[in-house]
Amino acid sequence: MSPSPKLPALGSDIKYSDGVALELDSPCTQRPTALRTTAAFFAGIVVTLTAVAQYASWSGLYLTTGLIAAPGTPEWHDYPAPSPTNVFPSAFPSDVGYPGPTHPGAEPGVAATAPAYPLHSGSAHLVPPPHFAKGKGKSKKDKFDIFRHWGSLSPWYSVEQGAFGVDSSPEAPETCQITGVHLLHRHGARYPADVKSTRGPARFAARVRSASVTASGPLRFLNDWTYKLGQEGLTPFGRAQLFDLGVSMRMRYGFLLKNFTAANILPVFRTESQHRMLASAQNFALGFFGYPLDNQYQQVVTIEESGFNNTLAPYRSCRNNADIRKAYRGISPSNEWIAIYLAKAVRRLQKHISGIELDAADVFNMQEMCAYETVALGFSKFCELFTEKEWEGFDYAYDINFWYGVGFGSPLSKALGIGYVQELVSRLTQTPIEIHNSSTNATLHNDLTFPFGHSLYVDATHEVVIINVLTALGLRSFAETGPLPADHIPEGLSFKTSQVAPFAANVQFQILSCSSEPGPQIRVIVNDGAVPLNVLKGCPDNQHGMCPVDAFVEAQKEHIRTTDWNLVCNEDWKVPEGWNTTSGYPDSYAL
């Protein structure tokens, strides 16, 4: 992204806010008469100013007489054009015959056959600020990766071996073969929420837009900066993330498709109706299967909306999730931390801007702008404004918010994740759910849309649900360091959002057959990091993080039995002042 927006090239079309089109036509090759030129010039001015006056009132939109947007003005580039004039499908057939001889080769299986596992860096296509670019020296600072310090806004990457407590890589142990995989993944990088929002990057843009801002030094780019972020849909990088994840999973587990060919059936994947969820699933499928997708798999699209049970969006059917005292407990402590770690940054940046009095929320929004602009546009000047320590503080602010809001410190988290755990147990045991008493949807639990006996399942969801599920599974190693303080970053933090739930995060439940172990085994791999299962009742210590499937299932059945969805989501109870949990469930003190 350039430090300042350029005027559109001749013939281009740029739209601001709700669709004001600024179109500049190509120059005429013939010289008209002076009268016609003058008349056309003034007529153009009148038409343009009329359009500007009509639309410039939206949410504080200002356009200068030079047709340059005021700082902070939303800038949208709509593509494709609604009715392009050169669309003639018959002139551009996709199949003209003569394909040449082809025949598929053997399916890949890196996770089963390779001596090492391919690691994912996560940051292809993204440009870091120059002072954080890696590989420029040997100091600790040169090893700092800004992309891994954005909380849930980080791109997914392969965590270091042993990051979650198991010193084992994700490929099958030497004596084992992978016989099945259940994959739960997050959508790819997206734009932030509503452009009219009162929080986040849109809030900062509105603040700049409504003031007469003059900036200098490191903030001088704000003088002609426009708000270029869309709303909630996948960014181009987000699409690439899911396509790449699909390719990666085909390379790792493609050999499992032989089971589908032998049974003469197709895999059934699931996603939700939200735009970014459906687009993520489709891009994953394109990477996994290749184009065209016809007759390669079946895609279940569940409805994400209030009134519809959905294990991939359980908060929609949980009434208490709308109670800020229960569902959003991370906001207050994260705000406390933001005020502490950004105090110096507020004073430092205020020296370079007039017309607006910065507060901690503004500066935090600027950090969010860095992350969102980078995953949307490839680069952001906002990233240059902060130190390594301030980025570590930003990362921890997300940890606090997610820990108390949707994780092990939330009284709702276990119940919200238990529906997916019920489905996982149902698939592992090939047994229908007897009582749908959580977020499971009985209508969709049938032989077609919820089949048993498949060696590969793929479900797309949100980051909050991934954390809900890890909580409901009882994977307590993530809660080992306990409740998160709001005044400092603890050493050896066990719960890090950027490691657990970044953009395109993925949880692989590997099913294995091992000559060294009796009966089928299961492993949980989160972003390529093996998670210890010995925290579960009946699961032994294992150097690779494996647990017998039978023991794993029994442990999860106990979690299901001890989770009361109706009580947690529908009944009236209060969270006492100072109350904490590390189980994601409201204990007797809250009830």
Residues identified as active-site: 187
Q: Work out the number of other CB atoms within 10 angstroms of the CB of residue 39.
A: 12
- Calculated CA dihedral for residues 235, 240, 242, 246, nearest 10 degrees: 170
Q: Which amino acid is at 203?
A: R
Q: Structure tokens of 238?
A: 């987000």
* Cβ(229)–Cβ(376) below 8 Å: yes
CA atoms lying within 13 Å on the CB side of residue 125 = 17
Paired tokens of 216: 């200098």
What are the residues whose beta carbons fall under 8 Å from the beta carbon of 171, sequence distance 6 or more?
110, 111, 112, 114, 116, 117
Whether 366 contacts 381, CB under 8 Å: no
In whole angstroms, give the CA distance from residue 331 to residue 322: 14
Residue 155 CA to residue 332 CA, distance in Å, equals: 26
Of how many residues is the chain composed? 591
Q: For the chain, what is the total number of helices (H) and then of strands (E)?
A: 16, 13
Helices 343-350 and 331-341, packing angle to 10 deg = 60
CB 59 within 8 A of CB 196: yes
Distance in angstroms (rounded) separating the CA atoms of residues 160 and 145: 13
CA distances (Å), 29 to each of 26, 32, 36, in order? 9, 9, 15
47-86 burial: b if 16+ Cβ within 10 Å, else e: ebeeebeebbebebbbbeeebbbbbbbbbbeeeeeeeeee
Sign of CA dihedral 547, 553, 558, 560: positive
Q: Which H helix or E strand runs over 141?
A: none
Tokens, residue 560: 């299901």
